[in-house]
Homo-oligomer: A and B are copies of this chain.
Amino acid sequence: MGRIEAAAANESEKGAYHHGDLRAALLDAALALLAEGQEPSLRAVARRAGVSPMAPYRHYADRESLLAAVAVRGVEGLKAALEAADAGAEPGHRLVAQAVAYVRYAVEHPVLFRLTFGPARPVGEVCEASQQVRAVLLERLAAEAPERFSPEFAVGCWAVIHGLAMLVLDGLLQETDPDPLNGLVQKAVEAMVGCRRAGA
- Would you give the 0/1 interface string for A98-127, flagging 1 where the beta carbon is closer than 8 Å to chain B? 000000000000010010010101110001
**A131 contacts across to B, CB distance below 8 A:** 172, 175
Closest to A153 in B: B191
- Is there a chain B Cβ closer than 8 Å to A195's Cβ? yes
Contact of A171 (CB < 8 Å), options: B127, B156, B171: B127
CB distance A191 to B117 under 8 Å?
no
A198 located at the interface, meaning its Cβ lies under 8 Å from any Cβ of chain B in the complex: yes
Q: Does B114 lie within 8 Å of A119, measured CB to CB?
A: yes
Inter-chain CA distance A123–B156, complex, in Å, is 28
Considering the chains assembled together, what is the distance between the CA atoms of A137 and B158 in angstroms?
Answer: 20
Q: Contact: B122 with A171, CB < 8 Å? A: yes
CA distance A181 to B162 in the complex (A): 18
**A119 to B, closest residue via Cβ:** B114
Q: Give every chain B residue within 8 A of A162 (Cβ-Cβ).
A: 163, 166-167
Query: Interface with B: A23-31, A46-54, A182-190, which one?
Result: A182-190
Which residues of the partner chain B approach A157 to less than 8 Å between Cβ atoms? 192
How far, in whole Å, are A113 and B24 apart by their CA atoms in the complex? Answer: 34
Q: A146 interface residue, CB < 8 Å from B?
A: no
Q: Which 10 residue pairs of A and B lie closest in terms of their CB atoms, listed nearest first?
A: A163-B163, A159-B163, A197-B198, A156-B192, A152-B187, A156-B188, A195-B195, A162-B163, A153-B191, A152-B191
Given contacts A122-B171, A156-B192, A159-B164, 6 further A-B contacts (CB under 8 A): A117-B172, A130-B170, A152-B191, A153-B188, A159-B188, A163-B163
